[in-house]
Amino acid sequence: MLGLGLAGGWWVAARALQPSSEISATAKKISSGDLGQRIRPTDSESELGRLSADLNYTFARLQAAFERQAQFTADASHELRTPVAVILTQTQSALARERPASEYRESLAACQRAAQRMRGLIESLLLLARFDSNDPTELPEDCDLYRIAAESVALLKPLADEKNVALALEGTSAPCRGSAAQLAQAGGNLIGNAIHYNLPGGSVCVTVHREADRAVLTVADTGEGIAPGDLPHIFERFYRAEKSRSEGQGHSGLGLAITKAIVEGHGGSITVASEPGVGTTVRVRLPSAGRT
């Protein structure tokens, strides 16, 4: 009887501890760099089964985070490579032999443009990093979304006139709480995109109103629209639906990612509806002042 009891106890203990061993072995493989490893499912009703499911979910999020970080680093390196190459090419060409003063000025101007592009990209990356770490740099304050939109419209009106695009603002006061500077940057990004990707003779209508406990900003254009295959990805960092043209215009593919980070950092939401050849409508909803 004693022998049978010991054998039965050993078998029960070994079976109970087997999931623990699998968890430990999987954790070791993941810590060594194999992020695709997962714990084999066991009895989902047991404590260890639920623990395994929770750990698999955590491991999946960890793998996704590492993959996003790797892609982000690769994209940032790619974006910085072009202006660095421009600066190196211009300086090497200028130093290769004596040149007239006008050619030196042209080289310096090209280097300045490349450096400005690098500075803008670096500032955008730092802003996104602050949002990723939930480290806002400005204290929230009461502000009026209509006034913020009006300032952005006034700032971008010359660009709209240059591109022969009618820019209009409608609506009423819509109090909200947050960083006026960051919200102005988000609104400016949306209005600027609506102008850039519009057609000559087109229009951009910016509307602000209150909707229950929300302050709502809507930017609607009559531009080219966004293809259905591109629409789910437009808020991804460095994503560009038309890469060749966007690169030629100096866009880094971070504007909409920054806008989304700002809006969500203020407890709001952003949605996009678009039809190719008809236009795009972007709607931002923010908590009204006094709401969270």
Give whichever of 15-24, 59-68, 182-191 has the largest mean pLDDT: 182-191
The pair of structure tokens assigned to 6 is 């010991």
Higher pLDDT, 151 or 52: 151
Which range of residues forms the domain containing residue 196?
141-287
* Residue 102 and residue 208 in one domain: no
* Residue 146 and residue 282 in one domain: yes
- Boundary of a domain, candidates 102, 135, 168: 135
* Residue 94 and residue 36 in one domain: yes
Q: What is the CATH number of the domain that holds 258?
A: 3.30.565.10
Residue 75 is assigned to a structural domain of this protein: yes
Predicted confidence (pLDDT) at residue 216 exceeds the cutoff of 90: yes
Residue 284: strand pairing partners:
217, 270
Residue 104 is assigned to a structural domain of this protein: yes
Residue 128: per-residue pLDDT:
77
* Residue 25 and residue 55 in one domain: yes
Give whichever of 20-34, 69-83, 183-197, 246-260 has the largest mean pLDDT: 183-197
Comparing 26-40, 113-127, 271-285, which segment has the lowest mean pLDDT? 26-40
Q: Which of 64, 63, 23 is nearest to 42 (CA)?
A: 23
Q: Which of 74, 72, 92 is nearest to 84 (CA)?
A: 92
* Cα angle: 261, vertex 289, 181; to 5 degrees: 45
Q: Give the predicted TM-score (pTM) of the model.
A: 0.67
Residue 248: per-residue pLDDT:
44
**Would you place residue 245 in the very low, low, confident or very high pLDDT band (cuts 50, 70, 90)?**
very low
* Residue 60 and residue 127 in one domain: yes
Predicted confidence (pLDDT) at residue 84 exceeds the cutoff of 70: yes
Q: How far is CA 209 from CA 32, 146, 154, 215, in A?
A: 53, 8, 18, 6
Predicted confidence (pLDDT) at residue 18 exceeds the cutoff of 70: no
User: With b meaning 16 or more CB within 10 Å and e meaning fewer, what string describes 116-137?
Assistant: ebbeebeebbebbeebeeeeee
Q: What is the CATH number of the domain that holds 81?
A: 1.10.287.130
Predicted confidence (pLDDT) at residue 244 exceeds the cutoff of 60: no
* Residue 111 and residue 234 in one domain: no
Give whichever of 12-16, 52-56, 150-154 has the largest mean pLDDT: 150-154
**How far is Cα 258 from Cα 102, in angstroms, rounded to an integer?**
39
* Residue 268 and residue 177 in one domain: yes
Instruction: Give me Rg for the CA atoms of the chain.
Output: 27
Residue 231 is assigned to a structural domain of this protein: yes
* Residue 56 and residue 180 in one domain: no
Residue 292 is assigned to a structural domain of this protein: no
* Residue 69 and residue 172 in one domain: no
Judge whether 254 and 245 are in contact, CB under 8 Å.
no
Predicted confidence (pLDDT) at residue 105 exceeds the cutoff of 80: yes
Q: DSSP letter at 288? A: B
For the chain, how many structural domains are there in total? Answer: 2
